[in-house]
């Protein structure tokens, strides 16, 4: 049965899923399109030993030059890079990591769930760089309060202004002795720590936490394998009237009409769709009278394994008895009340106890190496830096006129590089991590400050930013296009700036807030 | 099930000798027309094998195929049963690779060496499928090991002593740095060290030698999606 829908949602991940969850429960009829199929966890997944895989766990060579997260076990879940190409200047490689499945990247996310604070929302007030968000922490706090229980976030309350507390499943678990030593050493240096804050459960995805409730209302239809090509504009009203899409498998063309269109296709796919939606009104992309669409691309930089250490007492298999295991998080501590000379803003760390440092770090081979690895088995302590990246106008995406995907849709050219602010921060993070580890009595095995390429953190943000001024931003404070009243963009592309915090929790809270605003507007017939 | 029956039916049509013999035998035993002995897809009649009478008449060694279920046949992985046929590296390069593998990961306690875990043959396959820069890294690296060895010790790498080989593998004793060694041989050795260890630990030989929960290397594999 074909029917009209109030709202068409493009994307089924964190933002699309939350939009559907919120709107359908308020009685709004929604149609959801997603570029990928739905997973069948029973039929498509099987336990296999690594030696049984064709490439012994190395993966098919060259299949994923930019998806370091893909393993040979789960390679089929990541978006194929040949079907979905993009380009960049070879001097500045960009690692664009995508999942095209119902549920999107919430099927594979790390689940870290940190709130942002006014150190991020009002960052210009602190250091004068860039722009403030059009909302403050207080605007979003009530939505964080509701998202955390839905995603069953565990954590410990700390009362830190740079990392606001939330509604947690209280994590009062005892820290292992190595973690206690690390925490003490950090404390003496004035560096706070906390427990991980993560969504719990077997799966913490749109697929199990958002979409089932939305479907149960009877107000949602989900169409998989629907690759959006263009959001179309009604020339008479200046509003959008639907989306043309192509079936992934049959390559048959369709059109879906609706009163309102929500784009939540992931940061860069959403912007790509708007850039590809050109008209006489908007020759440079839909709702782009500001010229800001595609600009201010940023993410978080990662220094993976910035320090690898060994806890000496745990050598020789003595890591048990509460000595090793567990981990935590160091929230941003730079540029809060003091001022660094070499960089603005700050970084955070994840730390973990009880791993084994990779063989690559040990300057040995043969039996010596195998004996050393056996000796330090489970005795490792490592940190990863996650740093703030400054949003800059010149870091941008545009449509590459010479490149199309497997469905004939123009692809993106991506241009982002890290700058001195990030480089200096990365160096500082290595030095501080080393100092804490040494003060805790750990042996340093390896240290470095090489950031992974832009994009690899899978925290790409910006390019369709919100703002109070329609001349410099695409969206208003409710993720609604300044130019087109019935167009909303609800994902990470709407971020004005970010901090070291993983962005998903904020994307969820923003999508919930904007969807409630939209439901209200629909009720008032203002859209 | 339908496919299984249909396949049997088709092969009956093709009339292979073995099948015809079996069919004739079945028909004579069951005293039934061939069509009921091998029901076509969509037939509603219960298969005759299910009737107690038919089963009683059948000697145990002549039991008809279990049409109610598709059997799961035991299969043997080619790598587990057969010797692979490497062919990417030259014989000189491959000999050096074999020697290098056992220097990097020798047999320790119950665990197999890299060569015993079939790593040289596996790497021949993996590198053959790899992008060109990695192929060049391996080929040049192995050539250079042979050249250095011949120049300094008068023999190819596969024939020198462990102590002599240690001279050539010195880059592996340098402290780790993110950038890695500056020369090509060093870069090759650092890559080979990680690759050989990983290929050994992920081998069926290593898994067979492992006890307890460590080293099983099981993972959730996702099939290709439609």
Instruction: Spell out the domain ranges in chain B.
Output: 2-62, 78-209
CB contact under 8 A, B225 and A362: no
Quote the pLDDT of residue A142: 98
Give this prediction's pTM: 0.90
Please judge whether A37 and B225 are an interchain contact, meaning their C-beta atoms are less than 8 angstroms apart.
yes
Helix (H) or strand (E) holding A256: strand A253-263
Cβ–Cβ < 8 Å for A500, A457: no
Helices (H), A440-487: none
Q: Give tens-digit pLDDT for A483-499.
A: 999 999 999 999 999 99
Q: How far is B79 from chain A (nearest CA, A)?
A: 9
Q: Which strands make up the sheet holding A380-388, listed edge to edge? A: A327-330, A347-355, A380-388, A300-310, A443-447
pLDDT at A312 over 80: yes
Fold of A163-202+299-390+416-459: Cholesterol Oxidase; domain 2 (3.30.410)
pLDDT at site B85: 87
Domain boundaries, chain A: 1-39+101-109+114-150+205-297+460-527, 163-202+299-390+416-459
Q: pLDDT tens, A375-401? A: 999 999 999 999 999 999 999 999 999
Residue B41 confidence (pLDDT): 39
Q: How confident is the model at residue B16 (pLDDT cuts 50, 70, 90)?
A: very low
Residue A368 has pLDDT above 50, yes or no: yes
Task: Express each pLDDT in A96-108 by its tens digit.
Answer: 999 999 999 999 9
**Pairing mode, if any, of strands A327-330 and A169-170?**
unpaired
* 3-class secondary-structure state, position B221: strand
CA atoms A129, A133, A135, A138: torsion sign: negative
**Set of chain B residues whose Cβ sits within 8 Å of the Cβ of A365:** 103-104, 169, 172-173, 193
Q: Report, as an integer, the average pLDDT of A325-331.
A: 97
What residues of chain B, 28 to 67, have a C-beta less than 8 Å from chain A?
Answer: none
| Distance from the B142 Cα atom to the nearest Cα atom in chain A, whole angstroms | 17
Rounded alpha-carbon distances, angstroms, from residue A399 to A87, A237, A284, A404: 10, 27, 10, 9
**Do A440 and A383 contact (CB within 8 A), yes or no?**
no
Separation CA B198–CA B101 (nearest Å): 11
Rounded to whole angstroms, how far apart are CA atoms A475 and A518?
Answer: 14
Flag whether residue B207 sits within 8 Å of chain A, measured between CB atoms: yes
Contacts B222 to A, Cβ<8 Å: 39, 44-45, 73-77
Q: Which CATH number fits domain A1-39+101-109+114-150+205-297+460-527: 1.10.150.110, 3.50.50.60, 3.40.640.10, 3.20.20.140?
A: 3.50.50.60
**Token code pair at residue B141:** 């690296």
Q: Which of A53, A102, A365 to mutate to test the interface with B (most CBs of B within 10 A)?
A: A365
Helix (H) or strand (E) segment spanning residue B10? helix B2-14
Least trusted range by pLDDT, from A267-271, B66-70, B205-209: B66-70
Cβ–Cβ of A371/B108 closer than 8 Å?
A: yes
Tell me the angle at which helices B184-201 and B132-153 cross, rounded to the nearest 10 degrees: 110
Q: Are A500 and A333 in contact (CB under 8 A)?
A: no
Q: How much is the average pLDDT of B174-203?
A: 96
- Contact call for B223 and A76, based on CB within 8 A: yes
**pLDDT of A425 strictly over 70:** yes
Question: Chain B closest CA to A504's CA: distance in Å?
Answer: 25
Average pLDDT over chain A reads 97
- Closest residue in A to B224 (Cα–Cα): A76
Residues in contact with A464: Cβ distance below 8 Å, sequence separation at least 6, in sequence order: A270, A271, A274, A292, A293, A294, A474, A475, A489, A493, A494
- Chain B: give the shortest CA distance to residue A108, in Å: 13
pLDDT digits (tens, 9 = 90+) for A185-241: 999 999 999 999 999 999 999 999 999 999 999 999 999 999 999 999 999 999 999
Using an 8 Å CB-CB cutoff, list chain A residues near B198: 56-58
Q: CA torsion A61→A62→A68→A72, rounded to 10°?
A: -40
Q: Rounded CA gap, A226 and A249, in Å?
A: 9
Q: How confident is the model at residue B83 (pLDDT cuts 50, 70, 90)?
A: confident
Long-range pairs for B106-111: beta carbons < 8 A, 24 or more residues apart: B106/A366, B106/A367, B106/A370, B108/A367, B108/A370, B108/A371, B110/B209, B111/A370, B111/B206, B111/B209, B111/B210
pLDDT of residue B39: 37
């Amino acid at each position: 049965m074909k029917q009209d829908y109030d709202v068409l949602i493009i994307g089924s991940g964190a933002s699309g899923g939350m939009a559907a969850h919120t709107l359908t429960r308020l009685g709004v009829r929604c149609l959801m399109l997603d570029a990928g199929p739905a997973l069948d966890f029973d039929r498509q997944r099987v336990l296999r030993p690594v030696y049984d895989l064709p490439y012994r766990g190395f993966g098919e060579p060259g299949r994923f030059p930019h998806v370091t997260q893909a393993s040979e076990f789960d390679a089929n879940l990541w978006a194929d890079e040949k079907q979905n190409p993009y380009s960049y200047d070879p001097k500045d490689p960009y690692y664009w990591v995508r999942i095209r499945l119902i549920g999107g990247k919430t099927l594979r996310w790390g689940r870290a769930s940190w709130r942002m604070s006014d150190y991020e929302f009002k960052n210009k007030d602190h250091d004068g760089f860039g722009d403030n968000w059009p909302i403050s922490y207080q605007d979003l706090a009530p939505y964080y309060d509701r998202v955390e229980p839905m995603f069953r976030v565990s954590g410990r309350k700390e009362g830190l202004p740079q990392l606001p507390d939330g509604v947690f499943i209280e994590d009062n678990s005892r820290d292992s002795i190595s973690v206690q030593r690390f925490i003490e050493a950090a404390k003496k240096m004035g560096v706070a720590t906390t427990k991980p804050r993560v969504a719990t459960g077997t799966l913490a995805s749109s697929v199990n936490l958002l979409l089932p409730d939305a479907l149960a209302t009877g107000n949602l239809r989900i169409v998989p394998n629907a690759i959006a090509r263009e959001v179309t504009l009604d020339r008479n009203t200046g509003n959008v009237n639907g989306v043309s899409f192509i079936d992934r498998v049959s390559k048959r063309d369709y059109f879906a009409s609706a009163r309102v269109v929500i784009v939540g296709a992931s940061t860069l796919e959403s912007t790509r769709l708007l850039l590809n939606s050109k008209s006489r009104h908007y020759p440079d992309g839909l709702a782009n009278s500001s010229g800001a669409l595609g600009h201010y691309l940023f993410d978080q930089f990662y220094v993976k394994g910035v320090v690898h250490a060994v806890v000496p007492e745990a050598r020789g298999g003595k890591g048990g008895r509460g000595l090793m295991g567990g981990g935590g998080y160091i929230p941003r501590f730079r540029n809060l009340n003091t001022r660094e000379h070499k960089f603005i803003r700050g970084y955070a760390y994840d730390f973990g106890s009880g791993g084994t440092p990779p063989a690559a770090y040990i300057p040995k081979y043969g039996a010596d190496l195998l004996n050393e690895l056996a000796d330090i088995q489970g005795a490792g302590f490592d940190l990863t830096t996650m740093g703030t990246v400054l949003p800059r106008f010149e870091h941008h995406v545009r449509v590459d006129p010479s490149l199309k995907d497997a469905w004939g849709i123009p692809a993106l050219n991506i241009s982002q590089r890290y700058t001195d602010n990030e480089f200096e921060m990365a160096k500082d993070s290595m030095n501080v991590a080393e100092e804490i580890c040494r003060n805790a009595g750990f042996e340093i095995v390896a240290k470095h400050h090489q950031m992974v390429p832009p994009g690899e953190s899978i925290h790409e943000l910006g390019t369709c930013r919100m703002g109070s001024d329609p001349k410099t931003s695409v969206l208003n404070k409710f993720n609604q296009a300044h130019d087109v009243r019935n167009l909303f963009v609800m994902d990470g592309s709407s971020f004005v700036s970010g901090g070291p915090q993983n962005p998903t929790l904020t994307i969820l809270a923003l999508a919930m807030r904007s969807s409630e605003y939209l439901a209200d507007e629909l009720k008032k017939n203002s859209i | 099930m339908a496919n299984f029956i249909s396949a049997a039916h088709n092969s009956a049509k093709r009339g292979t000798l073995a099948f015809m013999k079996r069919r004739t035998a079945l028909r004579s035993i069951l005293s039934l027309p061939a069509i009921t002995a091998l029901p076509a897809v969509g037939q509603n009649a219960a298969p005759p094998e299910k009737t107690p009478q038919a089963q009683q008449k059948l000697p145990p060694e002549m039991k008809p195929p279990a049409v109610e279920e598709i059997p799961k046949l035991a299969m043997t992985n080619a790598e587990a049963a057969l010797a692979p046929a490497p062919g990417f590296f030259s014989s000189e390069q491959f000999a050096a690779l074999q020697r290098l593998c056992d220097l990097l990961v020798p047999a320790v306690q119950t665990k197999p060496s890299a060569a015993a875990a079939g790593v040289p043959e596996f790497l021949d396959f993996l590198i053959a499928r790899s992008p060109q820069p990695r192929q060049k890294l391996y080929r040049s690296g192995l050539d250079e090991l042979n050249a250095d060895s011949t120049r300094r010790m008068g023999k190819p790498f596969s024939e020198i002593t462990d102590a002599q080989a240690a001279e050539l593998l010195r880059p592996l004793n340098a402290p780790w740095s993110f950038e890695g060694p500056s020369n090509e041989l060093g870069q090759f050795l650092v890559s080979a060290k990680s690759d050989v260890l990983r290929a050994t630990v992920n081998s069926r030989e290593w898994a067979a030698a492992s006890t307890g929960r460590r080293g099983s290397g099981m993972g959730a594999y996702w099939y290709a999606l439609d």
